[in-house]
Homo-oligomer: A and B are copies of this chain.
Amino acid sequence: MTFEEKLKTFRNHYATTQLLGGIQGLLGWDQMTYMPMGAMQSRGEQLQALGGILYDRATSPEYGQLIADLVAEIPDLNADEPVARELKLAKRNYEQSTKVPKEKMMELIMTTSVAQGVWQKAKEENDFAAFQPHLQKILELNLELVEYLKPYDHPYDALADQYEPGLKTAQVKAIFGALRPRQVELIQAISERPQPETDFLFQRYPIDLQRKVNRYFATKQGFDWNHGRLDESAHPFTTNFGMDDVRLTTNYDEFNAMDALFSTMHETGHGLYELGISKAYKGTTIGGTSSMALHESQSRLWENLVGRSKAFWSHFYPTLQAFFSENLANVSLNKFYKAINKVSPSLIRTEADEATYNLHIMLRFEIELGMIEGRMATKDLPEIWNEKMRDYLGVVPSNDTTGVLQDVHWSGGMIGYFPSYAIGNLIASQWWHQLLKDQPNTIDEIASGNLANILTWLRENVHQHGSRYDSMDLVQRVTGEPLNPDYYMNYLTEKYSEIYEL
């Protein structure tokens, strides 16, 4: 076969695997949105059957040989050419996939498929003991995984690398170590100031109305309903089954309308990213995100830098008041803006304000590290969690439902994901700084309700590239410097100095 023929065969193989991956996504989405509870058994079996096929395709020796043959003909895999990148990623994926034996991968699928149901029930019933053996099993499987994924500098690297290729534990420690005192100092300063009133946010907001509002704002962000949906699930998430089918979910609480709204803006940020990847990369290894931190940079940017900004509400608040006239008619813009930006140590990560959010991540990172390094036993996690909450945030959950059981990640086998959120926050601020430099009218545009140029900038600079560049490489290319947490801290300090008159 010629190079071109081999390339075509390789691409066909990969594209079909991608399609099957999209189907896997649908199985997961359905499970979280519409599937009846009693169907867990067959859903688990289906995921296993498809997982087996996906494993076989991703690790087939013929496919590996094709990649090797093609790579041999590329002078420099790091060259700035799509085909080099495409093959570099294929090689990386193939090497990663073949390191883990099929039985182990299948065991992980089965274990997490069961664990997710158990966790959901355990969370509802505040029963950590019911979940603990499953978490233990997941931890053990992750420890085995780590061994297969050698070499690494730190075993946690091998896990984090699944979500953030190339991320090192040492780097996360360094970033978090530098951030923590600065964030704590800011929170301390804030805590000495009078707090805004927020009672009106926790009145009854009819869910039917919330549905309309969330749809309204996702539309304003530029979400394309012809290629996506917004559904409801216990925990908001975004998934996509192809470049033309992105599914967002949110979760409505009648007495906390802002929680759903900001969750939806967050998920819409993820969705816009997926829909913005260049169609030229369809079915190739470049046609998806290269990093979950990059993904989170999109969701957090829309949720916070846009969605919790003064400019945004200076335009949209009257609309929100019109939707929720019973609740907000007599609440001023300023009062509302301060309320949605109230900084207050709280129990739930997804509901945390911008100033305290990263502390929730640091806590989780330390616990994950403790588990992976064998310093923390799963059975002790509730106690450790609560201690760390006291230490980091000064609040202690009264039950595990709002404590160690709150997040879906571990039940899904995802140890090593959390740092992506915090790094996503940092990247978001760095994008924002660059965006304001490139498009100085942005704040004025937001204040007049025009969000289109934000999306245009993100598409141009971030979305379209898919996996064309590693995340840190893209940050450097777009902003002209490496990841710099100062943008994040400056953003927080400036914002809260104004709100809290620090």
List A residues at the B interface (Cβ < 8 Å).
Answer: 16, 19-20, 22-23, 26-27, 30, 34-43, 45-46, 48-50, 52-53, 224-229, 231, 241-245
Cβ-defined contact, A20 with B50, below 8 A = yes
Residues of B within 8 A of A35 (CB): 245
Query: Given known contacts A19-B46, A42-B245, is B34 in contact with A26 (CB within 8 Å)?
Result: no
Contact B38–A244 (Cβ < 8 Å): yes
State which of B26, B46, B53 has its C-beta within 8 Å of the C-beta of A53.
B53
Instruction: Check if B30 sits within 8 Å of A26, measured CB to CB.
Output: yes
**Alpha-carbon separation in the docked complex, A218 to B225 (Å):** 32
Can you spell out 8 A-B residue pairs with CB atoms less than 8 angstroms apart?
A: A20-B53, A22-B42, A23-B23, A38-B226, A39-B227, A43-B242, A43-B245, A53-B53
Majority-rule SS of A interface residues: helix
> A226, B42: Cβ atoms under 8 Å?
no
Chain B residues closer than 8 Å to A46, beta-carbon distance: 19-20, 22-23, 26, 241-242
| Residues from chain B with Cβ under 8 Å of A40 in the complex | 244
Contact assessment for A19 and B227 in the assembled complex, using a CB-CB cutoff below 8 Å? no
In the complex with contacts A23-B23, A49-B20, A53-B53, A224-B38 CB distance below 8 A:
yes
Task: Decide: B226 and A19 in contact? CB cutoff 8 A.
Answer: no
**A455, chain B: closest CB distance, angstroms:** 17
In whole angstroms, what is the CA distance A303 to B261 when docked? 43
Q: Which residues of B contact A38 (CB under 8 A)?
A: 224, 226-227, 244-245
Bound CA–CA A39/B46 (angstroms): 23
- The answer on a CB contact under 8 Å between B36 and A229 is yes
Contact B37 A226 (CB under 8 A): yes
Partner of A244, one of B39, B231, B241: B39
What 3 A-B pairs are tightest by C-beta distance, nearest first?
A42-B242, A39-B245, A38-B226
Contacts of A42 in B (CB 8 A): 19, 22, 241-245
CB neighbours (8 Å) of A242 from chain B are: 39, 41-43, 45-46
